[in-house]
Amino acid sequence: MTTSRPEATGAPRVTVLTGAGISTDSGIPDFRGPQGVWTRDPQAARLLEHGPYVSDPTIRRRTWQMWRDSPVWDARPTPAHRSLVDLERAGLLAAVCTQNFDGLHQRAGSSPTTVLELHGSLTGSRCLHCDARERTADILARLDVDPDPHCAACGSPLATDVVMFGEALPGDVLDAAVEAATTCDVFVAVGTTLTVQPVASLAALAAESGARVLIVNAQPTPFDRIADRVDRRPIQEALPDLVGELLTAH
C-alpha cells in the first residue's frame, strides 16, 4: 500500500498504539507482563488458540467461562484512556490502534471511528462457519444451560470477535492502522511489549515514515532503540503528561 504524509498544518498528527498495560489499572490483568495471565499460567493461552477451540468442546466451555468471569465487564476507563479523548477533541489524534478488546477507549469517550480494534472486541460474537452475529452478553446470559454455544442458523460453534491465535487480523482494520502509522507526525506506543506481529511493526513503519516514536512502557521493548523517547513511569502518570505536552505545543 502506498501512503503519503499529509501537508503540514502546524498541528502534529498523532497516532497511538495501546496494549494491555493501559488497562491494568482498570483491574484487567495483562497477558505477558511479570504478573500476566499467561506468565502465571502458560496453559491459559491455549483457550485462545483457534484450532483447539474449534475441535475441542472442553476448550470451548472453558473459554466461555473465562469470558463470563472476565474483569472486563466491570472495568472503568483510567486517566490514561481519558487523556486520549482530550487529544482527539483537540483535533490532534489520527487514530487509536489498540490491541485490547475491552472497549475502554470507547467507554472513555473516544469516537468509535477513531478506535481501531486490531485484535477484535469482546462485545460481539459470531458463528465460526456462517458468520451469523450475536451479542456476547446474550450468549453469556445462557451459559448455565448452554455451556458450549452453537449457532441457531447452522449449528456450528460460536466464538467472540476476539481474534484467536491462528486467525488473521481483520484486514480493513490493519490497513487503516498502517495508514495511520505511516502518515502521522508522532507515534505513541503505550503499555505494549511490541512483540506481537504484525501490530508491533507499526512502530517501525512510523519511524521509517519520519514520525517521532515515543514509547511508554514499564518493561523494555524491541523498538526502544528506534524511539525518540522511552518513558518507564506508570502509564497513568506518563501518558497524561505526554498528552499535556502535545496539547501545550499545539
Q: What CA–CA distance (Å, rounded) separates 40 from 195?
A: 18
CB count within 10 Å of CB 245 equals 11
Q: Which residues, in sequence order, are CB contacts of 42 under 8 Å at separation 6+?
A: none
216: helix, strand or coil? strand
As given in the structure block, the three cell numbers for residue 139 are: 450468549
Q: What CA–CA distance (Å, rounded) separates 170 from 124?
A: 14
Distance, first Cα to last Cα, the chain = 30
Q: Catalytic pick from 50, 119, 129, 250?
A: 119
How is residue 188 annotated by DSSP? E
Measure Cα distances from 157 to 62, 136, 147, 225 in Å: 14, 13, 11, 44
Calculated CA dihedral for residues 3, 177, 194, 240, nearest 10 degrees: 110
| Bridge partner residues of 212 (DSSP) | 186
Instruction: Give all strands of the β-sheet with 186-190 in edge-to-edge order.
Output: 115-117, 93-98, 14-18, 186-190, 212-216, 229-231
Do residues 37 and 44 touch, judged by C-beta distance below 8 A? Answer: yes
Catalytic (active site) residue 129: no
Q: Active-site residue numbers?
A: 119
